[in-house]
Structure 1
Amino acid sequence: MNDIRTASHGVPWEDSYGYVQAVRRGNTIYLSGQVSHDGPDLVAPAPLDDAGAVTDFANTAAQMRQCYANASELLRRFGASLDDVVDELIFVLDSDAGGAAAEEVRKEVYGRPVPQVASTIVSTPRLAFPELLVEIKLIAVV
């Protein structure tokens, strides 16, 4: 039961911040907040003004899809999938854009009109990088 395995994406911020992307302990997999990246490059970054503030939230759904894609990759490494997710916490910069994106994207990625996962969505003023609009933290049981 104390068998612990970890997984990471190999992106620079894992070392600089000091964390792993996923931890499996027993039959539970805990995923750190997943953001919209492919390797070290952000996917669908939000446009920023000269002060570094987001000017448009239109990329929220695209970022959300990439967050789930990154989560799926980590889960796959443990022989799991989004079908095994029991709890998710979604952080968004804009509640309206985040809610609209979640209504669409969650149904797509979980493959059903009512995903069988406990879900909480929270609005926050900022994420790890200024161009991020979404971050998703998941717990799966296999």
Structure 2
Amino acid sequence: MTVRVENFGVPWESGYGYVQALQHGDTIYLSGQLANDGTELVSPASLDANGTPTDFSAMGDQMRRTYANAEELLKRFGASLGDVVEEVVYVLDVDAAMAVAGEVRRAAYGREDPQVASTILGVTRLAFPEQLVEIKFIAKLAGATAP
């Protein structure tokens, strides 16, 4: 079976060694997405002298951009967030995330009751110090065949 992949062309793809998205049959796997616009992080968190985030108020902005990046990748496969069956949301502060996640997710999925299995996990660190959230996705295409 042929596998199709997509990337954004950002340095950390080759630096870490991964693809942003991979289609295998009718399933699309998105690596953890973050709030980047090209190589720049959108709404980076403020850091203390040790490089630890001190302010989580940008959580909503980072989440919105993360969902937008996922949507962009899914479109390359003829899919959308409506095809997502599972997401895992990794955050540095669960309380800050829960305060905005409902509104952000409803807007991203375009419905009051997003039809997606979702898990949210608090973690101690993400790929970039100023990063507050990362989301991985799995989408299924109805009636799709291998690329």
After TM superposition, the score normalised by the length of structure 2 is 0.95
Amino acid aligned to 1:101: V
Q: Distance in 1 between matches of 2:99 and 2:111?
A: 17
- Which residue number corresponds to residue 74 of structure 1? 73
SS in 2 for 1:10: coil
The alignment partner of 1:6 has SS state of strand
Q: CA deviation at 1:73?
A: 0.6
Q: CA deviation at 1:99?
A: 1.1
Q: Tell me what 1:58 maps to.
A: 57
Moved over 4 A (4+): none
Q: CA RMSD in A?
A: 0.6
Asked if 1:37 corresponds to 2:29, the answer is: no
Structure 1 runs not aligned, ≥5 long: none
Identity of aligned residues (%): 60
Secondary structure in structure 2 of the residue aligned to 1:53? coil
Q: When the two structures are superposed, what TM-score results if normalisation uses the length of structure 1?
A: 0.98
Count of residue pairs brought into register by the alignment:
141
Other-structure match for 1:132: 131
1:14 aligned partner: 13
Partner-residue secondary structure (3-state), 2:113 = coil
Distance 2:6 2:99 in 1: 31
Query: Which residue identity lines up with residue 127 of structure 2 in the other structure?
Result: A
Structure 1 position 79, deviation (Å): 0.4
Query: Structure 2: 5+ residue runs without aligned partners?
Result: 142-147
Deviations 1:8-62 (A, max 9, x none): 0100000000000000000100000001100001100000011111110000010
